[in-house]
Amino acid sequence: MLAALAASATVTAVLTTPYAAAEPAVDPTSAQPAAPEPTVDETFDGTTLPAGWKVADGAWKVQNGRLTGTSTTSAQLSRITFGTPLADFRIESHLRFESAVDAARWVAFGLDLAPTGAVPWSIATLRNGSTAANGLEFAQRTPSNTWNVTDTAAAPIAVGVGKEVAVAVEVRGARATWYVEGREALRTTMVNRSASGVQALLVNGATVSFDDLKVTPLAKESFVRKPGDPLRVWAHRGGSSAAPENTAASDEVARRGRAEWIENDVQPTKDGVPIILHDDTVDRTTDGTGAVRNLTFAQIAGLDAGSWFAPAFTGQRVPTLGQQLDGLKTRGGNLLLEVKGSHTRESVARIVTEIRDRGMTSRVFVQSFEPQHLRWMHELAPELPIGLLRSTLDPDPVAIAKDLGLSAYNPSDAAFQTRPGIVAELHAQGVAVNVWTVDDATRWNSLEKAGVDGIITNRPAELYGWNSAFLQRGKPVVLSPAAGQKVDRAQQLRIAVTSPEPATITLDGKPIDNGAPIDTTSLVAGEHVIKAQIGQVTTESRFHLVATPTGLANLILTSSGSRSTVSTMTTLLGRRQYGVLAAYAGTPAAAGLTAARRAQIIAEAHALS
């Protein structure tokens, strides 16, 4: 089979490190599961490296409340590893370039490294020159110790030496998303995973310091699309427009086309082996004849499943479910598994065993036209998300979704068009809507506007490209206050958003007009969030209100305090006697202050003391 892949002009099989997903404990009786606790939560307040952290290369030390890593040359890849193997997690920190050889030098989160730091590994990088076209990257260090850069983008802000920046990466299996100052900046579907990979920090040709580093397991994934997110790409029978369906070759095409999920059909042979085949006979997609359930696996295993599509695929075989899962596990990818045709409870149980034996439950989504199949699946493997396929809509999709415990309701495009309002109804119950099988960009556009969550398509690479364009167009940009800006109460701020059409703007969840002034004296200290939304597209920007002597002076001078109160407080402020000022503001002697302004002045003075 691999020889056939290598011979194909379309497909080159690329082996990566095996990945075994961690199996989270599930409490089926818990309606509101507790948020996962961080597995790593470091503020670096000590003087030594945290327990369990391992230096693989370079100089790493803890001082002045920060972890500092140094790489003396552009060739050195300084690395420190920590954490535990996790399937889905968020890694985040506040970091700062203290120095750098040049703008191309970088810092990285290690997303999957051996505890020793040895190759191969997968990382997410941020360059000192962050606004360059490759300011952000997802990259792999291969077993042969070479680079494979899979995705690049410019960061949304300039970093540079001396500027602290909040960064995070969220990882789900082979997928990952880069965030800079709370803003999504880059996605990938190409993170190589391993059974024992942990997290890491890397520095190249620079000295970088870190604070507030956390690694937190992600809660069970919702398949409802977030506002502004692109359509989820489900590759129908693999990349079936470019390779023979339901084979290792079509899976590889879908993987290269950046499909998040690869759809395959499973049904049992006469002797009970679950195989990957769509039709109830082998006639159309192999050189054999006969009903699948009348043939043993030994009879099917020798059939040619590729030459019908093109001579380059001669020698492709009908894979077992186990072989297909192994291929996804070693090469990357997630499986949308359709339980095809009629099955017994025992044959569904065999499918569950194949999935669990390979540690793949966090990377498999099961769908079927048959509600009974889904009931059995839910009973046998409640941790697996399930979806109901429909050629015509049920009278009450919400009721059947509740009854079956669905994660998704997946109608045909023709069925969906009879009642697009089911999206809002199902979303209200946390159930996603994925439409099949749609290969036309005009329909993708209509379905995106209708709010569906994903498309099952024969053209996954084209849909991925369409999504990339979608993420670039029509997106509002928050100009002021700037992302990451630190402001005080003396500054005069106005909301400034540029967008191709009028956007709905909120400040901390409350509507505000574009161009409206922001009264900094009315804001609480700390982080504030501006959101600008056009349809399903949302931009989020964060700024921080901080205590400064100038800001405190503004609070005092614009207060309703008596002349004596204002004079006393400004005198204490000028002498930097912040503690005394806070104490005075809390006494009856500070006459004329409103309760709210009095509390603000006390809090601001304490923050400065």
* pLDDT at 134 > cutoff 70: yes
The amino acid at 22: A
CB 597 within 8 A of CB 564: no
Residues 323 and 380 in one domain: yes
Is 13 contained in some domain? no
Measure Cα distances from 348 to 50, 283, 365, 368 in Å.
46, 25, 14, 11
pLDDT tens per residue across span 500-527: 778 899 999 999 999 999 999 889 999 9
Band (pLDDT 50/70/90 cuts) for residue 13 is very low
3-state secondary structure (DSSP) of residue 103: coil
**DSSP per-residue string spanning 471-534:** HHSS--EEEESPTT-EE-TT--EE-EEE-SS--EEEETTEE--TT-EE-GGGSPSEEEEEEEEE
3-state secondary structure (DSSP) of residue 104: coil
- DSSP bridge pairs for 533: 504, 538
Cα 377–chain centre separation: 27
pLDDT at residue 539 in the model: 83
- Residue 588 CB neighbours (<10 A): 5
236 given a catalytic annotation: yes
Return the structure tokens found at 408. Answer: 């998704």
CA distance 7 to 522: 68
Residues 146 and 202 in one domain: yes
pLDDT at residue 436 in the model: 98
3-state secondary structure (DSSP) of residue 174: coil
Overall average pLDDT of the 550-569 stretch: 94
Residue 422 C-beta-side C-alpha neighbours within 13 Å? 31
Is 26 contained in some domain? no
Length of the chain: 609
Residues 174 and 48 in one domain: yes
Residues 236 and 355 in one domain: yes
Overall average pLDDT of the 565-575 stretch: 95
* pLDDT at 6 > cutoff 70: no
CATH code for the domain of 490: 2.60.40.10
Lowest mean pLDDT among 400-404, 499-503, 548-552, 556-560: 499-503
Band (pLDDT 50/70/90 cuts) for residue 473 is low
Residues 201 and 324 in one domain: no
* pLDDT at 5 > cutoff 50: no
Range among 21-30, 48-57, 534-543 rated most confident: 48-57
472, 487, 518 - which closes a domain: 472
- DSSP bridge pairs for 22: none
* pLDDT at 144 > cutoff 90: yes
CB 186 within 8 A of CB 170: no
pLDDT at residue 328 in the model: 87
Is 68 contained in some domain? yes
* pLDDT at 444 > cutoff 80: yes
Lowest mean pLDDT among 188-192, 280-284, 439-443: 188-192
- Which residues have a Cβ under 8 Å from the Cβ of 592 and sit 6 or more positions away? 559, 560, 561, 562, 565
Q: Smallest Cα–Cα separation from 532: which of 496, 559, 585?
A: 496
Is 257 contained in some domain? yes
Output the average pLDDT for the chain: 91
Overall average pLDDT of the 22-36 stretch: 47
Return the structure tokens found at 397. Answer: 């999709």
CB 454 within 8 A of CB 214: no
Band (pLDDT 50/70/90 cuts) for residue 21 is very low
Residues 486 and 463 in one domain: no
pLDDT at residue 474 in the model: 61
pLDDT at residue 536 in the model: 66
CATH code for the domain of 113: 2.60.120.560
3-state secondary structure (DSSP) of residue 298: helix
Is 379 contained in some domain? yes
Out of 236, 343, 373, 378, pick the active-site residue. Answer: 236
Lowest mean pLDDT among 149-158, 186-195, 369-378, 393-402: 186-195
CA distance 226 to 567: 52
Measure Cα distances from 549 to 107, 569, 607 in Å.
34, 12, 10
* pLDDT at 120 > cutoff 70: yes
Domain span at 374: 230-472
Q: How many domains does the chain have?
A: 4
Is 83 contained in some domain? yes
pLDDT at residue 477 in the model: 82
- What values do phi and psi take at 330, rounded to 5? -85, -30
Residues 113 and 180 in one domain: yes
Rg of the chain over all Cα atoms, to the nearest angstrom:
28
CATH code for the domain of 452: 3.20.20.190
pLDDT at residue 33 in the model: 59
Band (pLDDT 50/70/90 cuts) for residue 18 is very low
CB 303 within 8 A of CB 269: no
- DSSP bridge pairs for 183: 180
CA distance 249 to 330: 14
Lowest mean pLDDT among 283-297, 336-350, 421-435, 473-487: 473-487
Overall average pLDDT of the 329-344 stretch: 90
CA distance 87 to 521: 44
Is 21 contained in some domain? no
Band (pLDDT 50/70/90 cuts) for residue 4 is very low
Out of 278, 343, 373, 528, pick the active-site residue. Answer: 278
Is 17 contained in some domain? no
CA distance 277 to 265: 6
Residues 504 and 467 in one domain: no
pTM of the model: 0.70
278 given a catalytic annotation: yes
Residues 440 and 483 in one domain: no
Band (pLDDT 50/70/90 cuts) for residue 194 is confident
